[in-house]
Structure 1
Amino acid sequence: MKTRMVVVAALASISGLAHAQSSVTLYGLIDIGVLYANNTGGHSVWQMSSGNINGSRWGLRGTEDLGGGLGALFVIESGYSLNTGRLGQGGDLFGRQAYVGFTSQSVGSFTLGRHYDSLTDYPGPFEAANQWSPYFGAHPGDLDNVNGTNRINNSIKFKSISFGGLTFGGLYSLGGVAGQTGRNQIWSAGAAYNRGPFAFGVGYLNVRNPNFSLYGNNASSSTTAINVTNRIFSGYASANTQEVIAAGGSYTFGGATVGAMYTNTAFRNVGSQAGVATPAANVGGTARFHNAELNFKYQFTPSWLVGAAYDYTKGYGINDVKYQQGVLGTVYLLSKRTDVYADVIYQHASGTDSTGASAVANLNGLTPSTTPNQVLGIVGMRHRF
């Protein structure tokens, strides 16, 4: 009898140890608001909007200690629209993130699956739309993907630990097209430094056949037609390659933080993708965009933040357009898990856009205006669990 009790106690001890060395966490975020836009397709609109500052989501993350400073990890994360209950990311169940891999306490993590690219990881945090501004205030059309609108399928990713404030990483996505090794390939790399009041990040992204590999990688995407819906660069969706270089930084003094970001985006060899409609004037050329953002935020109290940002976008090459955009917003924490926010965003467009027509304002995520101007106001709340 005593022997049996000892065996049971030993097994219970081992079971408890194994449980302590691994964990699975359910987490999520709910973001909902009411917005007004003065002109979407020629009409003003009041509507409810989900996932404004942060995408509404739920997910599971798990870790297991493998010993010797090594571990296994996974994340599966699903986006959804709170006001309709529909899945986000084009209907993908785990469209936000889905990956599994290994982690080392002395090196970093190595994972396989669906990821954010290095631009979102390293220079991305310095964009206002990745901090306090809703995604409507991201760079026009999120043309540089710094706001992380489009994830990367079939990808292998490395992220380092912090070495005295320095972190770095990279990503490679296999094209998966038989006999065409380079088709649909994506790769990115980046680094960031954060120590004391100063922080900065840099990154590079290279996308082959972006209409399909980057903008068409969801369940509802077309495998033959255009997948870009905004007028900012829909006329360049047939490009063979999209390249982005990005750098951002910030400096904090007291309750104030000043930030800046620059990106350069190129759509090369426009017209090379069969079946993707392209204005004749764009065929064979390269469209480029300068984008410069200056932002500021002030933490009046631990619970109350106010922010402002100005963004300037200039097209050149076969591109001749300008977008100027301003954002003013505030966030107030009701608790550690719940806050409320309010923002006003204005965009002005001039020149000729990617479609070959006179440019009209087209805030990220909205139907284009019928005039050079577009204004949006939004109030909402977030809750984390």
Structure 2
Amino acid sequence: MHKPFATTSSSKPFSARAALAFAALAAAASAPVHAQSSVTLYGIIDEGINYTSNVQTSPGHGHNLYSLSSGILSGSRWGLRGVEDLGGGLKALFVLESGFDVNNGKMGQGSLLFGRQAYVGLSGRFGTVTLGRQYDPVVDYIHPLMPSAMFSGSIGAHPGDLDNLNNTNRVNNAVKYRTPSYAGLTAEGMYSFGGVPGSMAGNQIYSIGAGYARGPLNVGVGYLSARNPNASFFGTAVGATAATNNFGSSPVINGYASAQSEEIISAGATYAIGAATVGAIYSNTKYKHLSGAASVLNPAGMGGTATFNSAELSFQYQLTTALSVGAAYNYTDGGAANDAKYHQGALSADYVVSKRTDFYLIGVLQHASGTDSTGHAARASLNGLTPSSGNQQATVRFAVRHKF
């Protein structure tokens, strides 16, 4: 079948020339696309051994617990990040990021496939617009300044992560805009559609933030408002419904799931002085218009507004190029609504053995007093761990973290 083409003298030169021309055109057309587009696979695996005191096993009874846990200093994850140059300074971009538990292989963030982030957008001289499941501006600007992000991990976050500064909750159905940088100053605005038929404001979330980063100084401020947070802000995982309490297991806040709205105002700063970095964080969190009727969303039948003020100081020091240490103290006051107060301290050390791998040690101690959101005597409740049987709890963690 192929013999006529192989033996025809006129077809051979023509075929060769055509093939060369086609290859040249294909190379010319494809080379710029490959040079200006990229997709990156990345991830972090964070795994270690924990000792935790006074883990409640039944009301009023607790025992020490030794366990493996995943994703404390950095959430264990894998993701895809892509960018394409569209010309004229305009770029298309996307991020798909999935959290997971190293110990059992389960997906994180309530078993969502891309529970950490999932968005697509455009960026250019005007700034960046992204659409999808995203971090809110408060998280974008304040979280990087938190000791929990720098050295104390999620177990060192504010009690119950009541102000979401440790990024427990992402925002679904969100449109976000970020300005270009003006001499180190940027700002963001975000709006999340509530998805309630006939109600534009139902379950909506909106947030604004701004930051300044130049030289040794980093500053961030932010504000977030969530309507019906049990469904819009906390109820974003598989199986979550407005009728169930989606606030998690921490008695610090899970008694406020009946709130009709939640507001968070926060500010933070870090300043580097040689090998040392000092920092401060403040947040004001309000769970507003509580139902006043006892239910699964409000076990204490609390009404009105529950307000938390939280302040934290931190210090980090780079002892050598490989070894750094950190210390932080946080005080959280629940105000008149429940009179709960939480004192928390954290110490850490991190040793880098390569560009991708480090070992770290974290210790956190918390003391609680007053009455918590459930209407009972406040129990210590380190973020992400099983609450204590009493008013004090400590944890120590040794772990390895590998980035790829």
TM-score strictly above 0.5: yes
Structure 1: how far apart are the matches of 2:191 and 2:325?
A: 38
The corresponding residue for 1:18 is 33
1:49 pairs with 2:69? yes
Secondary structure of residue in 2 paired with 1:129:
helix
Structure 2: how far apart are the matches of 1:177 and 1:240?
A: 15
- Residues 322 and 275 (structure 1 numbering): CA distance in 2 closer, same or farther, change over 3 Å? closer
Pairing 1:211-360 to 2, within 5 Å after superposition? 211-228=230-247, 229-271=249-291, 276-283=296-303, 285-360=304-379
1:8 pairs with 2:23? yes
1:192 Cα deviation from its structure 2 partner = 0.5
Structure 1: how far apart are the matches of 2:250 and 2:96?
A: 29
CA contact (8 A) 1:286 1:317 kept: no
The corresponding residue for 1:373 is 392
For residues 127-173 of structure 1, the C-alpha deviation after alignment (integer angstroms, 9 at most, x for no partner) is 10011111011011110001111100011011223211111111110
Structure 2: how far apart are the matches of 1:162 and 1:128?
A: 25
Structure 1: how far apart are the matches of 2:203 and 2:18?
A: 63
Amino acid at match of 1:109: T
1:272 Cα deviation from its structure 2 partner = 7.5
The corresponding residue for 2:133 is 114
Amino acid at match of 2:354: S
Amino acid at match of 1:6: A
Greater Cα shift, 221-230 or 17-26: 221-230
Give the alignment partner of residue 85 of structure 1, picking from 98, 102, 105: 105
The corresponding residue for 1:74 is 94
Structure 2: how far apart are the matches of 1:380 and 1:82?
A: 12
CA contact (8 A) 1:240 1:273 kept: no
% identity of equivalent residues: 52
- Residues 34 and 132 (structure 1 numbering): CA distance in 2 closer, same or farther, change over 3 Å? same
Secondary structure of residue in 1 paired with 2:266:
strand
CA contact (8 A) 2:300 2:374 kept: no
1:31 pairs with 2:43? no
Give the alignment partner of residue 61 of structure 1, picking from 81, 93, 105: 81
Structure 2 alignment gaps of length 5 or more: 1-15, 57-61
Structure 1: how far apart are the matches of 2:397 and 2:68?
A: 9
The corresponding residue for 1:176 is 195
1:273 Cα deviation from its structure 2 partner = 9.6
Greater Cα shift, 269-278 or 331-340: 269-278
Structure 1 alignment gaps of length 5 or more: none
1:275 Cα deviation from its structure 2 partner = 6.2
- Note the aligned Cα RMSD (angstroms): 1.4
CA contact (8 A) 1:224 1:275 kept: no
Secondary structure of residue in 1 paired with 2:387:
coil
- Residues 32 and 231 (structure 1 numbering): CA distance in 2 closer, same or farther, change over 3 Å? same
For residues 288-336 of structure 1, the C-alpha deviation after alignment (integer angstroms, 9 at most, x for no partner) is 0000000000011221110000000001142211000000001111101
- Residues 246 and 257 (structure 1 numbering): CA distance in 2 closer, same or farther, change over 3 Å? same
Amino acid at match of 2:268: G
The corresponding residue for 2:55 is 40
Structure 2: how far apart are the matches of 1:77 and 1:172?
A: 21
Structure 2: how far apart are the matches of 1:142 and 1:81?
A: 20
The corresponding residue for 2:153 is 134
CA contact (8 A) 2:323 2:352 kept: yes
Structure 2: how far apart are the matches of 1:49 and 1:265?
A: 29
For residues 90-137 of structure 1, the C-alpha deviation after alignment (integer angstroms, 9 at most, x for no partner) is 100000000001011x23210100001111101221110011111011
Amino acid at match of 1:344: G
**How many residue pairs end up in the alignment?**
383
Amino acid at match of 2:346: V
Greater Cα shift, 29-38 or 155-164: 155-164
Structure 2: how far apart are the matches of 1:179 and 1:248?
A: 38
1:222 Cα deviation from its structure 2 partner = 3.1
- Residues 19 and 307 (structure 1 numbering): CA distance in 2 closer, same or farther, change over 3 Å? same
1:63 Cα deviation from its structure 2 partner = 0.6
The corresponding residue for 1:362 is 381
Greater Cα shift, 326-335 or 273-282: 273-282
1:180 Cα deviation from its structure 2 partner = 2.3
Structure 2: how far apart are the matches of 1:146 and 1:368?
A: 20
CA contact (8 A) 2:126 2:180 kept: yes
CA contact (8 A) 1:257 1:297 kept: yes
CA contact (8 A) 2:293 2:302 kept: no
1:383 pairs with 2:402? yes
Secondary structure of residue in 1 paired with 2:98:
strand
In the superposition, the TM-score normalised over structure 1's length comes to 0.97
1:365 Cα deviation from its structure 2 partner = 0.6
1:10 Cα deviation from its structure 2 partner = 2.2
Structure 2: how far apart are the matches of 1:150 and 1:312?
A: 22
CA contact (8 A) 2:256 2:290 kept: yes
Secondary structure of residue in 2 paired with 1:123:
helix
For residues 191-250 of structure 1, the C-alpha deviation after alignment (integer angstroms, 9 at most, x for no partner) is 010111122110001011111111111113233111112100111111001000000011
Structure 2: how far apart are the matches of 1:203 and 1:274?
A: 33
Structure 1: how far apart are the matches of 2:88 and 2:158?
A: 44
The corresponding residue for 2:119 is 99
Structure 2: how far apart are the matches of 1:304 and 1:190?
A: 33
Amino acid at match of 1:178: P
1:369 Cα deviation from its structure 2 partner = 0.5
